[in-house]
Every structure is written in structure tokens, then in C-alpha cells.
Amino acid sequence: MTINLPEARRWPGSEWIKNHPAALERIYAVSVKAFTRVYPAMKKIAPQSSERVMVFVEAVGKGYVWNCQMCGQCILHSTGMTCPMNCPKNLRNGPCGGVRANGHCEVIPERMCVWVQAWERSQAMAVYGHKIVTLQPPVNRALKNTSSWINMVEGTDQITPPGWAAASPTGNEGLEHR
């Protein structure tokens, strides 16, 4: 590896797991339901520790599989179960024009472009695959290193800048071109 960026890291076996996007999206759908049920109780008992526990769980679990960068506003299911923050340019809406002829990253020549992978994987995803064309709003950098699961249940990750929200009333889900 010529470039030592955090985005370049991959744990052994993690690519194999990610190459099963259909299974992953099903696991995701179930986990969302489960967590939404469990979280209110967690919050009641120990609000502070549940945040810390979740940050740990995500950093380790999602860190292992997706090399999660802890952006705090997870859109994995919208991007072919491939983490867009593994793109060194932090692109949330698709690949740049620098992708190499062999499908590798402009910045990290040894790695596949995460968006080439995201596109391929999204094609195999029956439930969320179509979401890859959704326009993703600017990243809220203030959510870095917080728990994306808690943010999801609390709705904090859906809050877009007010100007953005005014222009696209459906917020996060808006502006699909078809």
C-alpha cells in the first residue's frame, strides 16, 4: 500500500462479507426493527452508557466489515452496502471522474473504487438497491464519532441544513431523478 490513508484499510475477510449485499441488506432491515424496539429501554436505563456502548459496537463491528469511519449518519443501505466514507474524497453521491481503467481508486491505486463496488452490489439488492440514485445531502460533520444507530432512531441523521430542506421538502429521501 503506497498510501496510508484510514480509508485504505480492509480487515481480512471483510470484502467477502460485503460481496453478499443481498444477505446484508436483509440483516440490516431486521436490525433496524430490533434496535428501534430495544433503544427506548436502553435510553431509559442508561442514556450515557448506551451511547458509549453503541459507539464501541459500531466502531468494532462496522469497523471490521466496512472500515466504518464513524460519520454518524449511516447510508450503507443506500450505497450498495459499501461505506461511501471509504472514498478518500468522501463522495456520498457516486464516483468521481478519476476512476482508473481497471476500476481502481484514483487516490489509492491498490484498492477498488468503493463506488464501482457500490454500484455492482446495489444491482444485487432487491430492497434498497434503487436508493443509490438518491441525492444525499451534505454530511453533518458535527455527528462524527457518534452512534449512527442512535442518530437514526432519534432522527438526528435526517436533519438536513435548513436551506437544503426548504428546497427538497422530503429531505433525505427527496430528489430522485425517476
Partner 1 sequence: MFANSRLERVLRSGRFAVTAELNAPDSANPEDVYRNALVLAEVCDAINATDGSGANCHMSSLGCCALLVRAGYEPVYQISCRDRNRIAIQGDLLGAAALGVKNVLCLTGDDVTAGDQPGAKRVFDLDSLQLLHTATIMRDHGVFLSGRKLTTPPQLFLGAAANPFVPPFAWRPERMAKKIAAGASFIQTQYCFDVPRLRTFMQRAVDMGLHEKAFILVGVGPLRSDKAAEFMRTKVPGVHIPDAVVARLAGVAPKQKAEEGKRICIEIIQQVREMAGVAGVHIMAYRQEETVAEIVHRAGLFPRHAVGAHREGHVNQHAVHHASGNGAQPAHHAGQYGSASPGMASQGELQ
Q: List residues near ligand SF4 by CB under 6 A.
A: 62, 66, 68-71, 74-76, 83-85, 148
Task: Select from 20-28, 45-53, 65-73, 170-178 the region that touches partner 1 (CB under 8 A).
Answer: 170-178
> Which is nearer to partner 1, 7 or 25 (by Cβ)?
7
Other C-beta atoms within 10 Å of 73: how many? 22
Site string for partner 1, 77-106 (x = CB under 8 A): -----------xxxxxxxxxxxxxxxx--x
175 binds partner 1 (CB under 8 A): yes
**Cα→Cα distances 32→29, 75, 120, 147, Å:** 5, 13, 24, 14
φ/ψ region of 113 (left if φ > 0, alpha if ψ in -120 to 50, else beta) reads beta
Contact between 87 and 7 (Cβ < 8 Å)? yes
| Contact residue for partner 1 among 72, 78, 111, 115 (CB under 8 A) | 115
| Residue closest to 98 by CA, chosen among 110, 90, 107, 111 | 107
Q: Does 142 bind partner 1 (CB under 8 A)?
A: no
Q: Which does 85 bind (CB under 5 to 8 A by kind): ligand SF4, partner 1, none?
A: ligand SF4
- Angle (CA) 170-171-177 rounded to 5° is 70
Kindly list the residues in this chain that would bind partner 1 in the complex (CB under 8 A).
Answer: 3, 88-103, 106-107, 113, 115-116, 119-120, 133, 135-139, 141, 161-168, 175-178
